[in-house]
Structure 1
Amino acid sequence: MSSTNELRQRNVDAQQSAAAPATTSDEGRKIDQFLDQHQTRVPYEFGGPWGVTAMMIGFPLLMYYLWICLWFYDGKLVSPASMDDIVPFLHRMWVHVRDDASPNAYAWKVYTGLIVFQLFLAWVVPGYQQEGLPVPSLGYKTLMYNCNALWSIYITMITAALLHYYNIFRLTEIINNYGHIMSVAMIYGFAVSFGVYFLTVATGNQIRMSGNFIYDVFMGACLNPRIGPIDLKMWAEVRIPWVIVFFLAVSGGCHQYEQYGYVTPNMAFMILATWLYLNACGKGEECIPQTWDMFHEKWGFMVIFWNFAGVPFTYVYSVVYMASHDPSKYQFSTPTYVLLYTTLLTAYYIWDTSMSQKSRFKMQTQGITKFRNTFPQLPWGTLKNPEFIQTAHGNRLLTSGWWRYSRKPNYVADWVMSFCWGVVIGGTTIIPYFYSVFFITVLIHRCGRDFERCSIKYAKDWERYCSIVKYKFIPGVY
């Protein structure tokens, strides 16, 4: 029997899935239990305690260095002129941090105000109730998620617009205080990471621990931290980084308009790109509980610091550059702008619909057939009669839609968008390309973790899946 016929024979359509949702077999539960603990055969990731310590120290220093190069040195990667210049060079770097990135009162007010306001909205705004996937570490219990990010985001936008219009809080000042706010964000990242770790251990809710303090702080101790109706992990993934990213782009646009009387197509591109991402996170929030981040990844420094400081202050270096340089340095021809915008929108379409296809397929296996309708709902976001492999574990592996051509089509499209965020300023400086370079490194590492876990979890069914979906990333290439 051919692979296609075999798949069709083992398929059920969405209505049948609703009547008979997938269940985990006894053997599958044993495998889940094995995977849901710290693996002694591969004790550590990221180079173990020394590796994660280096990242916890080195990444904040790198963030300061790249920002200083962009804002004060025309985007050039500066370095000591000689061995004798090392100490003076480090002193110059320190002076920039001390004077231009101090955690001043303005930065504390802005960043803390955002945190408090987003927590308040997450608590009080009505939302769409979405059931998550069964969690092995909770005895396959499912958690409910109040998905109100979309309304919270637009309430935030309207509030910010009114504050700007009435000169209560000028959006232009955000980009001008980039360094100061970044320092406060880093402090929050460290404080929340260590605070959550100690609180989790004190209450006895830690899971999948290695026994090494610094490594466990980095990887996290808790899986589903909550305050009332708020799932903190999902809240922090959407309401903090992407809101900041969007408003940094808007601030850059305001800065240009006040300085030149217009907003460049390049800055408008970044405002559009960041809005697309932020809006997608809000409109598809009910899909997030079905993802690896919610289902498996613990809430530790790796995730917390990245959401509170890493994403918002390293992904928009192009905005920082444009806000501090004359537009003549990065102007393009009209055909180039058309190509850039077209590439962004095409990649966004693939990313949005592939994420929707996968998440809604998982919902279908839980018997959920009615989906939330938010703007914009793009064609091919929900698959009818999807093909899949029914595994002995009990889960189903999707082999339809974009997922027929690549095991990670969403990653490919996501990376293309990240690359565009660097291309928008051309070749004036390589620093805005940091996002795409770092991102592809993270994605490859993440895929390695994911594929290894799947090979253990699904065994021969994973081999069969790989024989059908041959390419990890780009169809026909890799």
Structure 2
Amino acid sequence: MAAEAKTVHSAVVTYASMLSLLSLCPPFVILLWYTMVHADGSIGQTWDYLRQNGLQGFIDIWPRPTVIAWKIIFCYGAFEAALQLLLPGKRVEGPISPAGNRPIYKANGLAAFAVTLITYLGLWWYGIFNPTIVYDHLGEIFSALIFGSFIFCIFLYLKGHLAPSSSDSGSCGNLIIDFYWGMELYPRIGKNFDIKVFTNCRFGMMSWAVLAVTYCIKQYELNGRVADSMLVSTILMLVYVTKFFWWEAGYWNTMDIAHDRAGFYICWGCLVWVPSIYTSPGMYLVNHPVDLGTQLAIYILVAGILCIYINYDCDRQRQEFRRTNGKCTVWGKSPSKILASYTTTSGETKSSLLLTSGWWGLARHFHYVPEILSAFFWTVPALFNHVLPYFYVVFLTILLFDRAKRDDDRCRSKYGKYWKLYCQRVPYKIIPGIY
């Protein structure tokens, strides 16, 4: 674990990240919600309020978790956990872990996504539950998630010490790094309930879609109609999340699942940051309907769907390459590849194929380009009266550039000379011809 912590980030950066995440992210979630919902989306208006009222003013606007907020979170979490466990799905093997283990998953994410949205819309349609209640108590829900997720991460830390699920676990000897980066790579409750699949996919990503629909319904109930800007933004976000669950088994091969341990960094982020920050363009549009006009709305929608498709096709291309062990075609040709060998922590020598053609011949992390552009296209319907709706685009860009660096560092450490050869064949990290 010590070696892995070192390749992720230095101890100094880890401490700085931990302190900033603990001290800055929770209040930012509340300030973003307050600004979007109660300050007309204006950073200047919120700043003036805080300047006049100081710390007490901030304390006053921080919503206290309420019983109804906890009920909504509990019912939603229990429903998603039940779907994860009970819905049928194809058996999928994950990648071999550093300790030589291969996790087994049940791929039922798309079914869970469909059941979740149909149930949510059905409850609204038949008057059983009004989703506007979620919007009306959004600050309280975010506040409850902030505190509840912190307690959940303490549980993960203790579980990693007392009852690890596999040999892909252990301590680096530093409490802060263990808590922040996590103790276990694949923590499970029992044999079948994978905690990271729940936090990352079924709670975090699913809440993105649920809240996007919630904002749409709230605008409809406020104005008697849904503006084309809200429709475009919501459709693009739902297409992106649908793509995610369609490809969920591929996500289990990514850094989030296969390399990042289940700690505060990733689990708190998925439980709190995803529902609050990733959905923020829709949150802004609730009270700021923009009429784009049919032509502009279609242009934005088509451009966004194209970017989401390219992002999907990048992942599909690499997944197909791995599934067939390189015996496939990439853009109509036999793929260019490098056969690399590496040694697991248990001392076993294994081999991997590195794809150097298709999308993956343009840049080592080219798939981040259409992902960032997708986020821009579901935000741009808000136009440019306020900068805050674009925070997610800026954050995502920083996150993915950092992830590209971490992935490069990890692969350099894993593959050695083979990674050097790969970088010679594919010299650009993210943006072809530039970076």
Aligned counterpart, 1:71: 37
Opposite residue 128 of structure 1, the aligned amino acid is K
| Structure 2 contact 239–305 (Cα < 8 Å) conserved | no
Matched, 1:388 2:337: yes
Aligned counterpart, 2:11: 44
Unaligned runs of 5+ in 1: 1-32, 370-379
Aligned partner of residue 476 in structure 1, secondary structure: coil
Q: Is 1:427 the counterpart of 2:372 in the alignment?
A: no
Match of 1:320 among 280, 283, 293: 283
Asked whether the equivalents of residues 36 and 42 of structure 2 are also in contact (C-alpha less than 8 Å), the reply is yes
Q: CA offsets per residue over residues 233-265 of structure 1, 9 Å max, x none?
A: 122211112221112121121122222222111
Do structure 1's residue 400 and structure 2's residue 349 form an aligned pair? no
**What amino acid is aligned across from residue 128 of structure 2 in structure 1?**
I
Q: Deviations over 1:84-129 (max 9, x none)?
A: x7572332222121xxx22112211111111101111111111011
Query: How far apart are the structure 2 equivalents of 1:383 and 1:54?
Result: 47
Residue 95 of structure 1, aligned match among 60, 80, 84: 60
| 1:129 is the counterpart of 2:86 | no
Instruction: Tell me the equivalent position of 2:419.
Output: 462
In the other structure, the counterpart of 2:105 is 145
Aligned: 1:262 with 2:225:
yes
Selected match of 1:295 from 242, 254, 258: 258
Query: What SS class does the counterpart of residue 133 from structure 1 fall into?
Result: coil
Question: Which residue number in structure 1 is paired with residue 74 of structure 2?
Answer: 112
CA distance in 2, matches of 1:159, 1:453: 41
Q: Report the residue type matching 2:378 in the other structure.
A: W
SS of residue paired to 2:200: helix
Shift in alpha-carbon separation, 1:353–1:207, aligned structure 2, 3 A: same
Shift of 1:382: 9.5
State the aligned residue count: 423
2 CA distance for matches of 1:288 and 1:196? 22
One-letter amino acid of the counterpart of residue 11, structure 2? Y
Cα pair distance change 1:168/1:443, threshold 3 Å = same
CA 1:122–1:425: 2 relative to 1, 3 Å: same
- Aligned match for 2:199, one of 229, 232, 236: 236
Relative to structure 1, is the Cα distance of residues 169 and 229 closer, same or farther in structure 2, using a 3 angstrom cutoff? same
1:172-251 aligned within 5 A: 172-203=132-163, 207=169, 209-227=171-189, 228-251=191-214
Q: Secondary structure at the match of 2:106?
A: strand
Gaps of 5+ in 2: 343-350
TM-score, normalization by structure 1: 0.82
Structure number, greater radius of gyration: 1
Change beyond 3 A, Cα 1:384–1:190: farther
| AA aligned opposite 2:356 | T
Q: Distance in 2 between matches of 1:277 and 1:455?
A: 31
In the TM superposition, residue 316 of structure 1 has moved relative to its aligned partner by 1.8
Moved over 6 A (4+): 380-384
> Partner amino acid for 1:386?
P
| Alignment check: 8 A CA contact 1:290 1:362 kept | no
Question: Aligned partners of 2:195 and 2:181: how far apart in 1?
Answer: 16
Give the aligned CA root-mean-square deviation in angstroms.
2.5
Deviations 1:256-280 (A, max 9, x none): 2222222111111122122112212
- Identity rate of aligned residues, in percent? 27
**Cα distance in 2 between the residues matched to 1:283 and 1:48:** 33
Pairing partner for 1:436 from 381, 393, 396:
393
Contact conserved, 2:326 with 2:353, CA < 8 A, in 1? no
SS for the counterpart of 1:397 is strand
**What SS does the aligned partner of 1:255 have?**
helix
Counterpart in the other structure of 1:357: 317
Decide whether aligned partners of structure 1 residues 51 and 232 sit closer, same or farther in structure 2, where only a CA change above 3 A counts: closer
